[in-house]
Chains A and B, each alone.
Chain A
């Protein structure tokens, strides 16, 4: 009686959809098929074969790789750095900055897009004005194909520091003070304490943050959707946005479902590699 509502809803909207997704990824389901199921026919592996010939999909895979390679280290290192700074003191100052660093994480993505769109504006934006103070030329932040990717990374970086910083902070507060006291008696300096006590003991938190950040960047979606819609020239198109576009803009449900399974498999492989690496690390 207590469990029924939750289980029914989860089954209906989380478990059954996976099975449906798998089934329709082998069909040519589209808008016509949605209106009348007799119009759907089996496509075999055609969707999976075609998607790897689709230049837009290949481009989106390349872009996603760039997002991951730049974004993950940036977010993990910065949020660990901020957590270390915030853990340095306990006064009101540190507590208020905890709130300030967390704030971007809870803000609405559309509002963020509106505000950052204005900051990045080529003629009236703040960023170009700051460049002009230093005598630098104005940039087309969201219109230049290379720069647009970096502009989106900067925005997502700003938005994701907070949550990860909280996880590091929770971990830092779990480290017993006695470790540091013992090290101080042995004459350890600040840098050595950080290098030999703090960072190793943050191992699990770092692992957790790296995995969730990695999965997050592989599914990078909302920022390109609301900021650039994948443009210019598909330069910011991510895999997740490609799936969304094919499913909900072009109504190619079968094709999009095949794309979503490619994405799913990549996530599983990356996660398994992470766990394997972690296991090795523990052994020494």
Chain B
């Protein structure tokens, strides 16, 4: 009897889970279905969830009629730069974990404190600084402010403090240089943190929207999201083109996420949020 109750309970849970999951999926299904619809199918009532005359022309137009190839290139440049930032974060975390220098703890607390400042406070002054450095409308101006982040430094430091110092001493006795120790010894050990931070960095850079929108006024520097928002404004009635653009932004992220999702979920456990 108790066992049967348990089966019913589990069935109920699974049913709830599936209904909720389908509701979460509706926008994605709608987006992908619509991205293959020819323009005249958008005004059909009742709306079709899947296109009755599927076409690739929306995707073709994105690249031929619009400048999505340039936006894609810019976005990929930002992604690459953000990976340089990832290494800078790891290096800073390493220094905080394994070296002694004056003011170390004070520095570290100040860096942690920067996490609590709302973006709206620093947005305007950062723009003024970028303007003063004559970096408005350049790739450097887009990339530099977000290059390093307190959360990643914190995560790297936490993980690296657990590595025994003897290991580093042994490498130093063998005559390895500091840079070599970092790249050949530390980086392989902290691979799990690199995995988590790498995915989060990729997602963040791929999605970067607001700062490029503020800094770039030249269309040659637009990212995919800025380009897509332009599309939404100018071609507001061409749903097919918009849906294809949205799908082009979302689908790669989902594929990468599905491949690496195990690391993200484990990463939250590593970082000790429990």
Interface residues of A in 75-113 (CB under 8 A from B): 82, 85-86, 88-89, 93-94, 97-104, 106-113
Say whether, besides A10-B150, A118-B243, A204 and B265 are in contact (CB < 8 Å).
no
Say whether, besides A118-B239, A219-B119, A103 and B24 are in contact (CB < 8 Å).
yes
Given the complex of chains A and B, what is the CA–CA distance between A260 and B119 in angstroms?
A: 9
Contacts of A214 in B (CB 8 A): none
B88 A12 Cβ-Cβ under 8 A: no
Cβ of A274 within 8 Å of any chain B Cβ, yes or no, is: no
B206 A108 Cβ-Cβ under 8 A: yes
Give the contact-size bracket for chain B.
Answer: 35 or more
Given the complex of chains A and B, what is the CA–CA distance between A47 and B126 in angstroms?
A: 20
B124 A257 Cβ-Cβ under 8 A: yes
Contacts of A253 in B (CB 8 A): 124, 128
Per DSSP, chain B at the interface is helix
Cβ of B77 within 8 Å of any chain A Cβ, yes or no, is: no
B148 A20 Cβ-Cβ under 8 A: no
Contacts of A166 in B (CB 8 A): 264-265, 268
Q: Chain B CB within 10 Å — which of A89, A106, A190, A243 has the most?
A: A106
Chain B residue, CB-CB nearest to A261: B121
Cβ of A267 within 8 Å of any chain B Cβ, yes or no, is: yes
B124 A115 Cβ-Cβ under 8 A: no
Cβ of B158 within 8 Å of any chain A Cβ, yes or no, is: no
Q: Which of A7, A100, A248 contacts B24 (CB 8 A)?
A: A100
A17 B207 Cβ-Cβ under 8 A: no
- Min Cβ gap A81→B in Å is 9
Say whether, besides A82-B20, A109-B207, A240 and B27 are in contact (CB < 8 Å).
no
B218-256 to A contact mask, C-beta < 8 Å, 1/0: 000000111011011000000100110111011001100
**9 closest A-B pairs by CB:** A17-B125, A6-B92, A20-B125, A111-B246, A3-B95, A17-B122, A2-B95, A174-B274, A14-B114
A/B interface sample: 7 pairs, CB < 8 A = A10-B111, A15-B114, A103-B257, A108-B224, A240-B120, A260-B123, A263-B121
